[in-house]
Amino acid sequence: MQAAQPEETMSDKLIKAQTLKGFRDYLPDAAMAREHIIDVARRVYRSYGFSPIDTPALEYSEILLGKGSDETDKQMFRFRDQGDRDVAMRFDLTIPFARFAAQHLADIGTPFKRYHIGTVWRAEKPQKGRFREFMQCDFDTIGTDANAADIETLLVIHDLLEQIGIERFTIRVNHRQLLNGLLEKIGLADRSVGVLRALDKLPKIGRDKVLAEMTGDVGADEAAAAQVLDFAELSGSPEEVLSKVESLVTGSERGLDGVNRLRELFATVRTAGIDAGRVQLDVSIARGLDYYTGTIYETFLDDLPKIGSVCSGGRYDNLAGLFTKQPLPGVGASLGLDRLLAALQELGVLETTTTPANVLVTLFDKDHLADYIRIGRVLRQAGIATEVYPLFRPLKKQFQYADRKGFKALVVAGGDEFDAGVWTVKNLASGEQQQVREADIAEAIRGISG
Amino acid sequence: MQAAQPEETMSDKLIKAQTLKGFRDYLPDAAMAREHIIDVARRVYRSYGFSPIDTPALEYSEILLGKGSDETDKQMFRFRDQGDRDVAMRFDLTIPFARFAAQHLADIGTPFKRYHIGTVWRAEKPQKGRFREFMQCDFDTIGTDANAADIETLLVIHDLLEQIGIERFTIRVNHRQLLNGLLEKIGLADRSVGVLRALDKLPKIGRDKVLAEMTGDVGADEAAAAQVLDFAELSGSPEEVLSKVESLVTGSERGLDGVNRLRELFATVRTAGIDAGRVQLDVSIARGLDYYTGTIYETFLDDLPKIGSVCSGGRYDNLAGLFTKQPLPGVGASLGLDRLLAALQELGVLETTTTPANVLVTLFDKDHLADYIRIGRVLRQAGIATEVYPLFRPLKKQFQYADRKGFKALVVAGGDEFDAGVWTVKNLASGEQQQVREADIAEAIRGISG
């Protein structure tokens, strides 16, 4: 082999520059849009006292698999490391958080509020908008079943969307015990998984097909199945619906507890000054079958509902039962970063730019490189992000660069300006330019780039 | 197997909560410290017009291996994915950037300035302060060999350290062509790799042993080896040293070019107003053998030099020769995030806290949950990060929680306060408390938490 392939050919052969199927690069415009959303999420999470944590990308497979399904197993990037350990890349942030909570419980104490913004990997079949590497932005409060934490979760979701700059959105809220209470009353408690699975399809397949599934596979009688569907289709103000549910579940303690918690939630949300139209009770949403046990949240963009929920979550009884005997009830939600970014792009809300700086200092007079570099520093110290073009090329070329990148202002100076002790500041949108002394340059630029 | 293990035993068995050897969790205090440094780095990079990019954690092994050594191969987490592709986790951000630049050259154009803050993985032998997963913070300007970019790289390093809050640091600068120019003149140009390797050990093993290595393995004659060492030990102001080097390398074009570029660098750095003591010429530093071809930077903390360089980099001739025939010269550096964090901790510069919020609203009167939650919202809207305790527990417990987490102020209200329409604000450091109307609460808290 070695002899057959002369060294020259080897080194001349280029390696094809490509990413793996289902993976992608972030170019500056996409990376800046993502950084912006992450910044907002962090600011909102922190404003409520949630602290950041991080966990490794690689864990023992045993931990990540937990009681996971075959589906999970197939989607994991799993391998044997140099020490022959069975390891895998995390496919969500929930199981690592469960492991983390069990491992560090004595250090973190409860209640514990954390956010975790991190990359996860799933070997799913790639398709439009679905990648094998994506980011999750989770926040949770664990170690308490207090309704205050449920209510706060909703406020965080609200502030997230609002601060990202979305005006028209709806947070749909439900409580798993409403339906469970009803099922208990009508004798279907032991078939709740099948009922929920059928009900989950309601928006997609419609009432008749759901009824058929319930009376077929699930094995409910027709009257009970009809009651479940009547329940799922209840409408009106949250207070009205809750009153109807209350009468339907009377006698079921868990059902009434759910009603009372939601009553308190809607009352508090109003007192806190949240726009009532943004928070709706939707007793039909179920969100997964096993995990959530209490409040459930889904968030839809009113102008783009078809993309699905952009921020979902709920309350669970026990986060870390696989790892510790200490019960850890909690509540939280996850911002669908990539889905939201795609939506913002589709809605034209994202301002795309390829430079984080607004100002470009162009180079002209080779004797004055130090002054061009110095003025960049002067502007930065005044809080203005400023790029200095690195080359003495024709100004036309530098102007083209400024156009392509999207700078808002140019700073130009040649022999005349240096003699007179001034700088020319050019507004790239209007084409206007003015000559200003160094002491006034920051103000002149603020007038342009805002 | 299935029959031998009854299901009850299975589900009762806990999975041990542990991280892999060489990996670690970030608890809130560590995660907040890291987020702070990353924030500063991003702000500084952006202030110079560097844009963010990102690349996948997983790449084709062929790409990451490039012309890498066996050492690199051994350290890679490498495996076959579900599609039987030979893939690996990135072990630095340089090779992915080379691949990225070659792949997207038409889109990004040149000059191109990017920063990349991302996690990398190396299966190194774990030891104190060395982990198998760590973060790199790189910035580079590619597509130009202009000295302005070299000078700017130094300014970015300077601003990084300064903005992180370090006052006493030294950036050591060198240019690879100074020594190459000398070697050319004294006939050792073809042994530069060996000479550099020996010279790299100078701080550790001293002059005599380096001399021995040069005259031994490297095969230089004694006079030439002595000249190299005299050169490496030149001292004085940058201008003085450069004058001496100039006379030593006269006749070597590359040597003189290096001298001229460093002259311009030091002159510009002074004009730009950088403290001269923070930037030193050190003709002995070499930084790796193959990669860097021009300017070289290393950065040391004056109060903790033993931890080594916390920000290093330099100029290279061609970033992406493995992937494209288009030459891409560039210059950049990398902030050693973990090393710096360890140093800041050792120096006691890091303020550690486990909550990002300064204020805790305690719960007392069960009829007023909505008001407690509302006042949290009022404070957040005034820009004050505020946590609302989720449970109605004895105030003593809530105060203990506040102490443990490090809040600065408490907001308390019971029946009397609600009747009078006031809130009690308590300064946790001084113990002082005052009653204020809602309209004044944000100001009262700013008076405490600054």
For B381-394, what is each residue's pLDDT tens digit?
999 999 999 999 99
Binding-site members of B for L-histidine are 92-94, 122, 136, 140, 287, 291-292
Residue A290 lies in a domain: no
Residue A289, domain member (yes or no): no
Residue range A144-165: mean pLDDT, rounded: 97
Q: How far apart are CA B47 and CA A357, in angstroms?
A: 6
- Among the ranges given (A1-10, B10-19, B352-361, B371-380), the one the predictor scored with the smallest mean pLDDT: A1-10
pLDDT at B5 over 70: no
Q: Is residue A283 part of a domain?
A: no
Q: Calculate what percentage of chain A has a pLDDT beyond 70.
A: 96
A100-114, A291-305, B3-17, B98-112: the lowest-pLDDT one:
B3-17
Distance from CA of A165 to the nearest CA of B (A): 15
Q: Are residues B278 and B389 in the same domain?
A: no
How much is the average pLDDT of A67-78?
83
Mean pLDDT across the stretch B33-42?
96
pLDDT of residue A7: 41
Q: How far is A287 from chain B (nearest CA, A)?
A: 24
Q: What is the pLDDT of residues B111-137, one digit of tens each?
A: 999 999 999 999 988 777 789 999 999
Q: Do A73 and A147 belong to one domain? A: yes
Query: Which residues on B lie below 8 Å from A159 (Cβ)?
Result: 380
Mean pLDDT for B397-414 is 94
**Greater confidence, A112 or B218?**
A112
The residue among B282, B314, B347 that closes a domain is B347
Q: Per-residue pLDDT for B168 more than 90?
A: yes
Please indicate if the annotation marks A94 as binding a ligand.
yes
Query: Testing the interface with A: which of B7, B25, B266, B323 to mutate, by most A Cβ within 10 A?
Result: B25
Residue A239: give the domain boundaries: 176-276
Query: Does A46 sit within 8 Å of B323, measured CB to CB?
Result: no
Tokens of A153: 């979760």
Q: With contact defined as beta carbons under 8 Å apart, do A168 and B390 qualify?
A: no
Residue A5, pLDDT > 50, answer no
Question: What is the C-alpha to C-alpha distance for residues B371 and B419, in angstroms, rounded to an integer?
Answer: 13
Tell me: do B334 and B373 sit in the same domain: no
At B3 the pLDDT is: 37
Look at residue A86 in the predicted model and tell me its pLDDT.
96
Same domain, A339 and A444: no
Helix H or strand E segment including B152: helix B147-164
> Would you call B66 an interface residue with chain A, using a CB distance cutoff of 8 Å?
yes
Let me know the angle formed at the C-alpha of B327 by B322 and B333, rounded to the nearest 5 degrees: 80
| Chain B partners within 8 Å of A35 (Cβ) | 42, 52
pLDDT at B288 (0 to 100) = 63
pLDDT at residue A281, as a whole number: 96
Provide the pLDDT for residue A89: 98
pLDDT for B8 equals 41
CA-to-CA separations, B195 to B206, B211, B212, B249, in angstroms, rounded: 14, 10, 11, 17
For residue A296, tell me if it sits in a domain: no
Q: What is the pLDDT of residues B191-217, one digit of tens each?
A: 888 888 888 888 889 999 999 999 998
| Inter-chain touch A148–B390, beta carbons under 8 Å | yes
Using DSSP's 3-state secondary structure scheme, residue B313 falls into strand
- What are B315's strand-pairing partners? B331
**pLDDT for A289 beyond 60:** no
Question: What is the mean predicted confidence (pLDDT) over A67-95?
Answer: 90
Interchain CB distance below 8 Å, A390 and B149: yes
Q: Are A134 and A196 contained in the same domain?
A: no
How many domains would you assign to chain B? 2
For residue A66, list chain B residues with Cβ-Cβ distance below 8 A: 15
Are A322 and B121 inside 8 Å of each other by CB?
A: no
Inspect the interface and report whether the beta carbons of B323 and A47 lie closer than 8 Å: no
Domain boundary among B310, B325, B347: B347
Q: Are residues B379 and B240 in the same domain?
A: no
Which residue ranges of B make up the annotated binding site?
92-94, 122, 136, 140, 287, 291-292
pLDDT of residue B11: 52
B132 with B157, same domain?
yes
Report the distance separating Cα A100 and Cα A64, nearest Å.
12
pLDDT at residue A3 in the model: 37
Higher pLDDT, A3 or B150: B150
Beta-carbon contacts of residue A434 (< 8 Å; ≥ 6 apart): A424, A425, A444
A429 inside 8 A of chain B by CB: no
**Taking all residues of chain A, what is their mean pLDDT, rounded to a whole number?**
92
Is the domain of A38 the same as that of A164? Answer: yes
Best probe of the A interface among B110, B373, B384, B407, by most A CBs < 10 A, is B373
Mean pLDDT of the B279-302 span: 87
Nearest CA of chain A to the CA of B27: how many Å?
5
pLDDT confidence tier of residue A6, bands split at 50, 70 and 90: very low
Instruction: Write down the pLDDT at residue A126.
Output: 75
The mean pLDDT value of chain B amounts to 92
Indicate whether A348 and A443 sit together in one domain: no
B304 and B216, same structural domain? yes
Q: Does A371 touch chain B (CB under 8 A)?
A: yes
ipTM of the complex: 0.91
pLDDT tens readout for residues B63-91 = 999 877 777 788 999 999 999 999 999 99
Asked if pLDDT for residue B1 goes beyond 50, the answer is: no
Cis peptide before B111 (omega within 30 of 0): yes
| Residue B9 binned pLDDT confidence (cut-offs 50, 70, 90) | very low
- Give the domain CATH number at A120: 3.30.930.10
Which residues, numbered 134 to 173 in chain B, qualify as contacts with chain A under a Cβ-Cβ cut-off of 8 Å? 141, 144, 146-149, 151-152, 155, 159
Whole-angstrom distance, CA of residue A353 vs CA of residue A372:
24
B242-266: b or e for each residue (b if 16 or more CB lie within 10 Å)? Answer: bebbbebbeebebbbbbbebbbbbb
**Any binding-site annotation on A90?**
no
Helix, strand, coil percentages in chain A from 3-state DSSP, rounded to 5 = 45, 20, 35
Q: Is A273 on the interface with B (CB under 8 A)?
A: yes
Which residue of chain A is at minimal alpha-carbon distance from B120? Answer: A57
